[in-house]
Chains A and B, each alone.
Chain A
C-alpha cells in the first residue's frame, strides 16, 4: 500500500520485503490410535513409552499453510510449539510436511491454553504473520480454547472449526463446521483460523522431505526471552478412568435382538 506522501520508488523498495507469513501452532500429543491408560495413583495418564504424534488438527493446519505457500499466497510457513525436551522431534515432522522453519518455546508439557496463547502472541508480535492457525482442539486435553484465546489477546478476528479457506487479498472467506451444518464468514486479515477435520487431508512426508527437514532451522526460546511468565490457574486433583460397562452379549438374529431390546432392556415399545 502506498501511503500519501510516499514516492513510488520507495514503494518499490519496500515491496519485496513484505512477505506473508503463516504461523501454525502445533502440539505434541499421544498418537490418536493409542488406547491411553490412567495411572493407578490418579495423577494422570501413563505416557511412559507411549507413541507420540503431532495433534491431528495441528497437522491439518500445517498442511493448509503449506498449500497456501504452494499456491503462492503465503511465502513462509513457521511452526511453533510450547512444551518439553521432546518437542523438536514433533517439529521435525512438521518441517518434513513442508514447514520452512520452527520455533520451540521451552516449557513443561502441560502448559495451560491461556499461557500458550500468551506465548504464541509474543511470537506473533515478533514474526507478524498474516494468518495464524491452530488445531480446533488437542486430542489430549480436549479443551478447544487456545486459538480463540490467542485471537482475543491479539484483537484479531477468528474463524474456528474451518473446513474451507479462501484468501482474497486482505480478506479471508472461511466455511465453518457448526452444530447445525455449515456457516460461511468473511474476516479481515490478519486473522486466526482453527482447523476442523475436513479442511484437508495432510500429506505423508516423503523420504527426501524428511531428509531435507533435518537441515531446516528449529529455534529454541524460553518464555522469559519472550517476556512471558507462565502462571498456572488450575490444578488437576484427580484423574480416573470412566465407569466401565458390563460386558455385553452377542445375539444370533434380528428377532432375538428386538426381543432383548423390548423385554430385557425395555428401550423400545
Chain B
C-alpha cells in the first residue's frame, strides 16, 4: 500500500491543512509520497521533504500548475495514480476543485471530507451539515479521498529527510485560464487553524461594527469569522464565512456574537472545544450548544469584554 498526498500550498509554503492530510495518510499506512504541483514551488517542496512521515516528494514545476487549475492538475495526478492505492488531498477549495475530476477519470467514487480512517477501505465522514456521521466502505480498488481540516491532528512538520524527485509536467489544457486573485490580507491566524475564533452575525448590523471584534481578537490572538447571514448582507467578505458551506473551524474557544445559530452555521463549528454565545435574544438556538451563554446587547458586552481581558 502506498499513499499519494497532493499538497495544498501557495508555492512558497505548505498550507497547514497539508499536515492534516498527511496525518490521515499516516493512519492509512504504507509509504507516504507528497506531490507538490506548482510554479517555482521549490521552497514548498523542500518543506514537504522535511516532514517525518513523508518518504518521497514529487515536484511538478510548470506554469500550467501555477494556479492549480483543475483541468491541468487532475491529469497530472491521474498520470501518477498507478503507483498508489490511495490518493488524498485536503478538502479545501483547491482540493474540492480537482480531486473529483481525478476520481471520475479513474472511474472511482471519491469519498469527500473524511474525518476518520477505520481501515484502508472504510472511512468516517459527516453528512447533513454535520448532523450525522456516516461510516462508508468503498469497493473501489483505488481510493480517492479529501480530508476534513478538523478531522485529524496534523503531523509534526519536521524530523524527516525525504528525497525530492522532479517529474515532467504537461502543457496547460487551455480550456480554462487564470485571470486574477483577490485574496484577503490579514495578520490574524487562518480561520481553519486558529486556536480562538470570534465570529459575528447579522446582529453586528454592519461591516464597520466588526471592528468591535478586532480588539478582542487582538488580545486573544483570535481569527475573525462570520455567519452566512453577515456575509450575505455584505458586512464582510466570503472568506470569513463559518459553516456547512463555508469554513470548518475547530478552535479551543469559539465566540459567537450576534449569531442566532442556524443549523448550517452550527455545522461549521461543532468541533470547537468551548463555545461562548453572546446574543440579546434569550431564545436564540445558539444558546442550546453554547457552553457559556451571555444574554446581552453586544454593543455593551463587547467593549466590556475587551477591557476585562486587560
Asked if A and B bind, the verdict is yes
A residues touching B (Cβ–Cβ < 8 Å)?
A: 30, 32-33, 35-36, 38, 45, 57, 112-114, 117, 136-137, 139-153, 156-161, 163, 173, 176-188, 191, 196-198, 232-242, 245-246, 248-251, 253-255, 257-258, 260-261, 265, 267-268
Is there contact, CB below 8 Å, between A242 and B304?
Answer: no
Known pairs A265-B291, A268-B253; A139 contacts B128 (CB<8 A): yes
In the assembled complex, how far is the CB of residue A133 from the closest CB belonging to chain B, in whole angstroms? 16
Q: Which of B180, B264, B273 contacts A183 (CB 8 A)?
A: B180
User: How many chain B residues touch A (Cβ–Cβ < 8 Å)?
Assistant: 89
Contact indicator B238/A198 (Cβ below 8 Å)? yes
Chain A, Cβ-Cβ closest to B300 = A254
Is A178's CB under 8 angstroms from B111's CB?
A: no
Residues of A contacting B237 in the complex (Cβ-Cβ under 8 angstroms): 181-182
Is A268 touching B292 in the complex (CB atoms < 8 A)? no
Given contacts A267-B252, A267-B253, contact A187 B175 (CB under 8 A): yes
A-B contact pairs, 17 of them (CB 8 A): A38-B132, A113-B110, A114-B109, A152-B100, A157-B176, A177-B239, A181-B239, A186-B177, A187-B175, A188-B175, A198-B231, A238-B134, A241-B133, A257-B292, A265-B274, A267-B253, A268-B309
Minimal Cβ-Cβ distance residue in A for B17: A179
Q: List A contacts of B244 (CB < 8 A).
A: 139, 142
B93, A177: Cβ atoms under 8 Å?
yes
A180 touches B239 (CB 8 A): yes
Establish whether residues A197 and B294, one from each chain, have CB atoms under 8 Å apart when the complex forms: no
Q: By CB atoms of chain B within 10 A, which of A141, A158, A245 has the most?
A: A158
The answer to whether B70 has its CB under 8 Å from any CB of chain A is: yes
Q: Which residue of B lies closest to A117 (CB)?
A: B104
**CB <8 Å contact, B127 and A142:** yes
A242→B308 contact, CB < 8 A: no
Contact between A241 and B295 (Cβ–Cβ < 8 Å)?
Answer: no
What is B's interface to A at a CB cutoff of 8 Å?
Answer: 67, 69-71, 74, 92-94, 96-105, 107-113, 122, 125-140, 173-184, 192, 196, 220, 228, 231-232, 237-239, 244-245, 247, 252-253, 263-264, 270, 273-276, 287, 289-296, 301, 304-305, 308-309
| Docked complex Cα distance between A235 and B180 (Å) | 41
Q: Are B101 and A242 in contact (CB under 8 A)?
A: no
* Interface majority SS (helix, strand, loop, mixed), chain A: mixed
A234 with B138: CB separation less than 8 A: yes
Extra 6 A-B pairs, beta carbons < 8 Å, given A196-B245, A198-B231, A248-B292: A148-B99, A151-B70, A151-B101, A160-B93, A181-B183, A267-B252
The verdict on A184 contacting B180 (CB below 8 Å), with A114-B108, A239-B132 known, is yes
Closest 6 CB pairs of A and B: A233-B109, A148-B100, A157-B175, A149-B104, A152-B104, A152-B101
A114 to B101, CA, bound (A): 10
Across the interface, do A36 and B134 meet the contact criterion of CB distance under 8 Å? no
Nearest A residue to B140, CB-CB: A233
Q: Which of A136, A183, A248, A250 contacts B275 (CB 8 A)?
A: A248
Inter-subunit contact A185/B177 (CB<8 Å): yes
Asked whether, in the complex, the Cβ of B175 is within 8 Å of the Cβ of A267, the reply is no
A159 to B93, CA, bound (A): 11
Once the chains are docked, how many angstroms separate the CA of A258 from the CA of B196?
14
In the assembled complex, the CB of A122 is this many whole angstroms from the nearest CB of chain B, namely 14
Whether A237 pairs with B136 at a CB distance below 8 angstroms is yes
